[in-house]
Structure formats: C-alpha cells, structure tokens
Structure 1
Amino acid sequence: MADRAAGETTSSGSRGYEHMKCSCGQHCGCNPCTCSLGVVTPEVGKAACKCGPTCTCLTCAS
C-alpha cells in the first residue's frame, strides 16, 4: 500500500488490481480509479466529493 498526496493505492484480492482511492478509503474524484466503482469528475473540492461526511482529505475539503 502506497500513500499518495490525495489518496492511496490498495490491492484487493488475488487478482492484484490496484484501486485508486481517497485517503479515507472511498472511491472519489480526487484520486480517480479505473474500476467500475471509480468516479471521474472534472471538479475538485467539497462540492464534487463522493466520500462520506467523515472524509478528511485535503483535496476534497478545498
């Protein structure tokens, strides 16, 4: 698992697919994932955040 500025990369299962997730663990536009759960939005900030209310990601909060 490697931390990134706004998110992290996590491996799930035996397939070894690398999910790009927000630092709170959710799929979010701040760190788009290419899987079917991924969210790609042109906006950033709290208005575009797809995470829950407990997200403390600096990119989502800006």
Structure 2
Amino acid sequence: MVKARHASIPVTASSGNVFADIGLPGPEEELTKAQLASHIRHVIRRQRLTQCGAASGRR
C-alpha cells in the first residue's frame, strides 16, 4: 500500500525557456543553441553515424 504524502512542494510554472527561468544572460540565444545541438544529435542518430563519420561527413 502506498502512503499518501502530506507535504506540499512549491512548484513554479516554466516560461518555456529554462535558461530564462534560471536567470542566465542571453536566454534566447542559449535556448537556440540547445535546440540546434539537439537537432544535430537527432540527425546524426537517424543517419546512424559514428562520431568520426559525423565529423568527416562520411556516411
């Protein structure tokens, strides 16, 4: 049986940009860089490239 939790944890809604939420300078640029890195990672995985293959442009 699972015990009910009585302690409440404060939750703050995200703005949609974690970098802005934590107060980093230039949050829009940081978010764009993170999104670009994620997209590159997905392309590399989808094409089943190794790290060396991705760096050299070979498939």
Same fold (TM over 0.5): no
Identify, as 1 or 2, the structure richer in helix.
Answer: 2
- The structure with the largest strand share of the pair is 1
Q: TM-score with structure 2 length normalisation?
A: 0.27
Question: Which of 1 and 2 has greater Rg?
Answer: 2
